[in-house]
Structure 1
Amino acid sequence: MNPSTFTVMEGEDNERIDQRLARDMDVSRTAIQQWITSGDVQVNGKEIKSNYKCRTGDIIEVVPPPEASPLTAQPEAIPLDIRYEDDDVLVVNKERGMVVHPAAGHASGTLVNALLHHTDALSDVNGALRPGIVHRLDKDTSGLIVVAKTNDAHEHLAKQLQTRSLTRLYIALVHGNVSHDEGTIEAPIGRDQQQRQKMAVTNVNAKEAVTHFSVLERFSEHTLVRCRLETGRTHQIRVHMTYIGHSLVADPKYGRSRSSPLAGQALHAETLAFIHPRQQEKRTLTASLPADMQALLDNLRSG
């Protein structure tokens, strides 16, 4: 499918972009939503979300991927490590290597596939490919992720993300000696202009990004840190720690090229705290480090 450009004319505004493109290009909304998620759709040179409302004068550019075909999410009997569940939300301890939702190259075996097999109750706010998904973790980042089972719960949790009241703490092992015991990285993140599959600290089409860190333990050539996300940009901790000269151990995209016993970056979503959408009480959950990351730390401690 060839690249396409559309201009929103007067009287054509206030329509969701995924609905408009699905109609104009004769492609399913599921496919359009996937293109938007992958950054293949831009409005006025910037990436947007599926629920973006078109405005008069908008220039919509679409560059469909070569394999541009609709994806669907099917239930799959995949084991889940569920740490909390009720009628409104559930919290899963995601294992390293699991993709959160179907996307190009990962049509099955995702967290969403497992969730669809586990329950019929998932919010549909983010479309058919991301039912229940309020926030994401990278494929090779392990740890806690909250899932909404109703639309009301989804909107409540999304508002907490927006107002930065939903707490996410991560444990990361990085290269080098982080000299400060704690600090804050405030540096905007956007798509890398040379390598479109990567993110970077940049001022071009970037969004505010804030990461707080504190040192937990130092080794001869590595540092163990805890990071708290104030914002939630794609690859934020990986990009920010690389930006200050301390890339994550075993990070295949931003790290140093050297062997590691880990099959992916040494990053774990350790703690998740949120206000329960219905009960209005704070819920705090923690998950211990995965076995491979714990073994790596034990080896470093033993010299």
Structure 2
Amino acid sequence: MEQVHIKVTEDNKRERVDKIISTEHEDTSRSQVQQWIKENRVKVNGESVKANYKCQDGDEIVIDIPEPVELEVVPEEMPLDIVYEDEDLLVVNKPRGMVVHPAPGHLTGTLVNGLMAHCKDLSGINGVLRPGIVHRIDKDTSGLLVVAKNDSAHKHLGAQMKAKTTTRKYETIVHGVIPHNKGTIDAPIGRDKHDRQKMTVTDTNSKDAVTHFNVLERFSRYTFVECILETGRTHQIRVHMNYIDFPVAGDPKYGPKKTLPIDGQALHAKTLGFVHPRTEENMEFTSELPDDMQKLLDELRRN
């Protein structure tokens, strides 16, 4: 059993205890926290409380998190766009709309389900729900990601991600006309304390996040941009572009609801580069924009 300690600060005093826990422990839903409270797994200053308890500055919250229940992930035959494959890894071009790995309540139709049917040898470092997954891209983002077939490859590739030596370039269409040709957004990202389904630029419980961008083409009300990730935070490009007031088109979570006609955000992981974990060869892969995003660009050019 894992035990988590949270110290209430001036920033989050007078907030409900269930909200503070779900914000701080970002992988846990508020309904799950409320269930833990009912099971007396949550104590504030050593005492059981109700979910609506308003915390005070200096309160000590302790959560006894139960061991996760292992869920069976079933292999599913599905078409996969595999760009490269060898005994250690494979590179997949994920379509927009596909979830990368299963989660409770969403155990089928994911990339992992398809990978398990395609090959039996995936690394086990990330556990039963995320075998082989070294890094993720959002459900409604298309493009390249690398999958490890064994633990050695997984550790090697993960170390490269941590050391920021991999190449990850995205192409996106954003609202507004960016006046300068290139720039760098260096702004820490953490969970939005008002909406735990969103990330935001914040100094509270955040991690460093750096995105470099180059303008590829300008239109009357939109800009076609290349974004280069130096770090890989959740929703990083979407949050950073919104932070500088040029939100990604097709992304109502971080931008305007009235947007370009595309199913999901106009964001594509176009280029992926890394050192092969066995041969130490520098490898780089690129993928073409999906058809709907390319059609949007063509239409913007005509107009």
Instruction: Check whether TM > 0.5.
Output: yes
Q: Which residue of 2 aligns with 1:46?
A: none
What SS does the corresponding residue of 1:241 show, helix, strand or coil?
Answer: helix
What SS does the corresponding residue of 1:173 show, helix, strand or coil?
Answer: strand
Q: Which residue of 1 aligns with 2:254?
A: 254
**For the Cα contact (< 8 Å) 1:40–1:63, is it kept in 2?**
no
Summarize the Cα distance change of 1:6–1:90 in structure 2 as closer, same or farther, 3 Å threshold.
closer
Q: CA deviation at 1:78?
A: 1.2
Counterpart-to-counterpart distance in 2, 1:260 and 1:105: 31
1:234-279 deviations in Å (ceiling 9; x for gaps): 0000000000000000103111011532111000000000000001
**One-letter code aligned to 1:183:** G
1:60-107 deviations in Å (ceiling 9; x for gaps): 53689xxx9753311001110000000001000000000000014421
Unaligned runs of 5+ in 2: 6-24, 31-59
Counterpart-to-counterpart distance in 2, 1:179 and 1:7: 46
Determine whether 1:38 maps to 2:27.
yes
Paired residue for 1:61, among 43, 60, 63?
63
Q: Which residue of 2 aligns with 1:290?
A: 290
1:186-215 deviations in Å (ceiling 9; x for gaps): 000000010010000011100000000000
**One-letter code aligned to 2:103:** A
Q: CA deviation at 1:179?
A: 1.3
Summarize the Cα distance change of 1:60–1:169 in structure 2 as closer, same or farther, 3 Å threshold.
farther
What SS does the corresponding residue of 1:242 show, helix, strand or coil?
Answer: helix
Q: CA deviation at 1:40?
A: 5.0
What is the TM-score of this pair, normalised by structure 1?
Answer: 0.79
Q: Which residue of 1 aligns with 2:263?
A: 263
Q: CA deviation at 1:135?
A: 0.2
What SS does the corresponding residue of 2:184 show, helix, strand or coil?
Answer: strand
Summarize the Cα distance change of 1:72–1:214 in structure 2 as closer, same or farther, 3 Å threshold.
same
Summarize the Cα distance change of 1:153–1:299 in structure 2 as closer, same or farther, 3 Å threshold.
same
Unaligned runs of 5+ in 1: 9-35, 42-57
What is the identity percentage for the equivalent residue pairs of Structure 1 and Structure 2?
57
Determine whether 1:157 maps to 2:157.
yes
Q: Which residue of 1 aligns with 2:124?
A: 124
Q: Which residue of 2 aligns with 1:193?
A: 193
**For the Cα contact (< 8 Å) 2:212–2:227, is it kept in 1?**
yes
Summarize the Cα distance change of 1:62–1:170 in structure 2 as closer, same or farther, 3 Å threshold.
farther
Summarize the Cα distance change of 1:252–1:70 in structure 2 as closer, same or farther, 3 Å threshold.
farther
Q: Which residue of 1 aligns with 2:179?
A: 179
**For the Cα contact (< 8 Å) 2:168–2:229, is it kept in 1?**
yes
**One-letter code aligned to 1:196:** R
Aligned length: 254
Summarize the Cα distance change of 1:218–1:63 in structure 2 as closer, same or farther, 3 Å threshold.
farther
Instruction: Name which one, 1 or 2, has greater alpha-carbon Rg.
Output: 2
Q: CA deviation at 1:37?
A: 7.2
Counterpart-to-counterpart distance in 2, 1:200 and 1:174: 18
**For the Cα contact (< 8 Å) 2:71–2:128, is it kept in 1?**
no
RMSD (Å), alpha carbons: 2.2
Counterpart-to-counterpart distance in 2, 1:7 and 1:160: 29
**For the Cα contact (< 8 Å) 1:71–1:102, is it kept in 2?**
no
Summarize the Cα distance change of 1:265–1:272 in structure 2 as closer, same or farther, 3 Å threshold.
same
**One-letter code aligned to 1:232:** G
Summarize the Cα distance change of 1:294–1:105 in structure 2 as closer, same or farther, 3 Å threshold.
farther
What is the TM-score of this pair, normalised by structure 2?
Answer: 0.79
Summarize the Cα distance change of 1:7–1:122 in structure 2 as closer, same or farther, 3 Å threshold.
closer
**For the Cα contact (< 8 Å) 1:99–1:106, is it kept in 2?**
no
Counterpart-to-counterpart distance in 1, 2:4 and 2:96: 42
